[in-house]
Chains A and B, each alone.
Chain A
Amino acid sequence: MKIKILICMGTSGISAGAEEVAKIFESELKLKKLMDKCRIIKVGDRGLFRDTLVDIITPELGRVTYEYIKSEDVPKIVDEHLLKGKPVEELRAGKDYEQFFSGQIRIVLSNCGEIDPEDIDDYITHGGYNALQSVLSMVPEKVIDEIEKSGLRGRGGAGFSTGLKWKFCKNAKSNMKYVVCNADEGDPGAFMDRSVLEGDPQSVIEGMIIAGYAIGATEGFIYCRAEYPLAIKRLEISISQAREKRFLGDNILGSEFSFDITIKRGAGAFVCGEETALLASIEGRRGMPRARPPFPAQEGLWGKPTLINNVETFANIRHIIIKGAEWFSSIGTDESKGTKVFALAGKVKNTGLVEVPMGTTIRELIFGPGGGMVKKKIGLKGVQIGGPSGGCLPETLLDIPIDYESISKTGAIMGSGGMVVMDEKTCMVDIARYFLSFTVEESCGKCIPCRVGLKRMLEVLEKITEGKGKEDHISFLKEMSTTIKHTALCGLGNTAPNPVLTTLKYFQDEYLTHIRDLNCPAHVCVELIEFEVIEEKCVKCGKCYEACPVDAISWKKKEYPKIDKEKCIKCKSCINACDFMAIK
C-alpha cells in the first residue's frame, strides 16, 4: 500500500496557502526519493477551518492529522513522519478538531475532504456510481417509491417531500422533461452546497442522473452561482470524466437511458435561487419569479415539466439507493429524516460545516462540534438560523430540536442551514436592519409589497439604529411585516420580514433601549456610540490602543486608555478588539 498524503484544497484551504503546501510536499518527496512510495491526494475542504489540513496515512501508524500547516512545516513532517516514522506531535490536530467531528454523522459530507474531487476513479473506489448501476435495473416507479419511503425532504429551504416531487414530474405528460440542480446558494451564511460541489461533485451528478432516470428526463442543468469559480471548475471536470465513463451521454452504461448535463453560471442575483426565477434565468431572461401554480413540475423550463432540487438533496440520493429507505428513515425525527448540514459561523470556537441527525438541539450543535463560544467573557445571546428568510432565536430557545416543524414554530425557518452564533456584542436591531438591507437590495421589484414595503421597513429600522426611532415604529414594523408576508409574490418577500418579526418577538427590549434611551447595548450602532472608555469594565490591556488605525487612543501600561475624539474616525476597531465591552 502506498502512503497517502491528503491535503485539503477547497476555497478555504487554498486561501490559507494549501497550493503552496502541496507544491513543497511534491518537491520534498522528490528530493528525498519518496515519490514511488507516496501518493498526494488533493481533497476538498473537510468543513473545519484550520488553514491547511494535512492527513498522512501509513500502514504502520494509520491516519495522523495535522492542522494549521504552513509550507515551512512540510520538510519536518517528511523527515520525521515519513522517514523516521515519528509523527510531529506539536503539529497534530488537537482536541478541538476531535470535538468538531465527534457527534456528527456524515452522509452528505462523507467524501468531502476524503477523496480527490477531480478524479472520478477515486469516487468510484469509494462506492461511487454503484447506486446508478442498481437503479438502471429497477423500474422508475420503484426508484421514486424508495425515495418517497425514505422521508427525504428538500434541503433547499422549504422542506417539500422529494419523493412526491419526483412523482409529480414522473406523472406529468410531455415529450421533454428536465432536471435542474439548484446550486445558487445565495443565503448569506450558508456554504454547504459549495463545499459539496468542491469536495464531492460526482455525488451531485449521480443524484441528478438517477432523478433523470426516475422521472424520464434526458437533459439536466446545474445552475451555479458565479461567485463559486472553483465549484464550477470541478463540476466541468467531473461532467467530462463522467461522460468518458459513459455515466452521462447516450445509452448510459449500455442501457436505453440517455441523459446529459449542462452547467449554467449565475450572474449575481439572490432571487435566482427561487425556482421560477432560476428557470427564467436559465432561459436567458431577467430572473424574476412568477406566480405558482403552475409549478415547475408541470410547467418549467421552456414550458416543459422540470424537476428542481437542491445540491444537498441530490447528494443524499445515492446513499438512500445503496443503503435503503429504511436505513435513511431510521435517522432523524418522525417528520424530518436523515441529517442536515449546517454552516456554523459567527462567535463560536469551531466554525465550519457540521452534519448532524435531524432532532439534534441547537445547543448541542454549538457546544458539541462548535466547541462553545470564542470569547468566554462575552455571553451567548442567540443564533440566527435560515438566513434572510429565517430568524433570530434567543439563548432560552436553543434546546429545541432541529427539525422543519420545531424551527418553523419559533418564527424562523430551517432554510438552507446557515447558523450564525451571536454574542452580547451583536445588536439585534442591527441584525434585523442588516437582513432587510439585503432583501431590499435583492428584491427583483416585480411586486409592490416586496419592492416598496420592505424599503419602508428598512427606513424605519435605519432611523432606530441612528437614534431617531419612535415608539410607534414598533407597531408599524409589525403591521408591515404581516401584510408583506401575506401579499408578496414569491418566497423572498413572504419570508423577508422574518428577521424583523423574530427580533421583535424575542428582543423587543433592545429595540426599546435604542428608541427610549438612545443606547445600543451591544455597542454596534455607530450613531449611538460615544467612544468613551468604561473604566469599571476596562482591564487596561491596551488592545484598543493597538487596534486603532489613526492613533486616536493614548495608553500606557497599567493606565486606562484615552480616546481623542478629534482624531477618532469612528471605525470601531477599538470596540471590535475589546474583550470586555469596555468602550461605549
Chain B
Amino acid sequence: MKVNLSDTRKIIQQYRNKKGTLIPLLQEIQAIYGYVPKESIELISKELLIYPVKIYGILTFYTQFYLTPRGKHTIIVCQGTACHVMGGKDILDYLSNKLGISEGETTKEGMFSLERAACLGCCGMAPVVVIDNNFYGMCDIQKVDALVKEYRSKEANR
C-alpha cells in the first residue's frame, strides 16, 4: 500500500525550527495514519536533518508509538494494580486466547488490536477494558465476550 505523504509534509512544516518537538511531531503523524509509516520517517529525516536511527530510537522507546498499521478497534486491557487483584490478567489472557493474538498484535482480518496498559487511572472501576476510547468498568470474562461480539456484529452490519 502506498502512503500519502502530503499530511506528513504539512506536519513537518509546522514543526520546522522549533526546539524539542520530535515527539509531538511523531504523535501528530500517528494521529493521522494510526501508526508511523516508514515513508514518513524517511521524509522527516531528510527534511529536518535528523538521522533515522534517532527517530527509530524515539519510536521504539515510547510504547505509544506503532510501526505497523492497527486493527479497526483497539482493545486495551488495564493491568494496573487494582485491575490485577480484581482479575485483569485473567481477562487479558482470555482475550489473547480467544482472538488468537498476543498483546501488541492485530487479528488477521484487521478487526482487533490487543494492548495492555500499565494503569489507566480508573482503579475504582477495576478491572477495566477500553475499546476505542470507550471505558468499560467492572469487567469479567463474560462481559468482554459480549463486547467482542458486539463490536464484531456492528462491523458486520455496516
Contacts and interface: CB of A to CB of B under 8 A. Distances in A.
B85 A420 contact: yes
A191 B121 contact: yes
Interface in A377-422: 384, 387, 418, 420, 422
A112 to B, nearest CB: 14
B18 to A, nearest CB: 10
A189 B123 contact: yes
Contacts of A298: none
A573 interface: yes
Contact of B145 (A187, A549, A569): A549
Interface string B77-94: 001111011110110011
Interface in A188-209: 188-191, 194
A576 interface: yes
Contact of B20 (A185, A191, A283, A547): A283
Contacts of A226: 27, 64
Interface in B1-22: 19-22
A227 interface: yes
A442 B142 contact: no
Contact of B90 (A191, A268, A444, A571): A571
Interface centre among B93, B122, B137, by most chain A C-beta atoms within 10 angstroms, is: B122
Interface stretch (B38-46, B67-75, B105-113, B128-136): B128-136
B81 A227 contact: no
B79 to A, nearest CB: 7
A571 B94 CA distance: 6
A281 interface: yes
Given A229-B133, A268-B62, A15 B86 contact: no
Contacts of B126: 345-346, 351
Given A12-B124, A188-B79, A345-B123, A281 B134 contact: no
Nearest to A352: B124
Given A227-B120, A270-B118, A284-B23, A420 B61 contact: no
Given A15-B134, A549-B142, A571-B93, A346 B79 contact: no
Contact of A281 (B23, B63, B140): B23
Report, as a range, how many residues of chain B touch the other chain.
Answer: 35 or more
Interface in A335-382: 343, 345-347, 351-352
A12 B136 CA distance: 10
Contact of A572 (B21, B64, B90, B135): B90
A569 B141 CA distance: 12
Contact of B140 (A186, A287, A422, A573): A573
A188 B62 contact: no
A576 B82 contact: no
B112 to A, nearest CB: 18
Contacts of A186: 118-119
B142 A265 contact: no
A343 B19 contact: no
Interface in B89-103: 89-90, 93-94, 97
B111 to A, nearest CB: 20
Interface in B132-158: 133-137, 140-142, 145
Given A49-B125, A269-B61, A572-B90, A547 B140 contact: yes
User: Which 7 residue pairs across A and B have the least CB separation, nearest first?
Assistant: A49-B124, A15-B135, A267-B62, A188-B119, A191-B121, A345-B82, A268-B64
6 contacts: A14-B135, A267-B23, A269-B63, A285-B22, A287-B62, A418-B81
Given A267-B23, A284-B22, A346-B85, 9 more contacts: A12-B125, A15-B125, A188-B82, A188-B84, A267-B58, A281-B23, A347-B85, A434-B84, A547-B141
Interface of A: 11-12, 14-16, 48-49, 185-191, 194, 226-229, 264-270, 281-287, 302, 343, 345-347, 351-352, 384, 387, 418, 420, 422, 426, 431, 434-435, 438, 441-442, 444, 547, 549, 569, 571-573, 576-577
Interface of B: 19-24, 26-27, 57-58, 61-65, 79-82, 84-87, 89-90, 93-94, 97, 117-126, 133-137, 140-142, 145
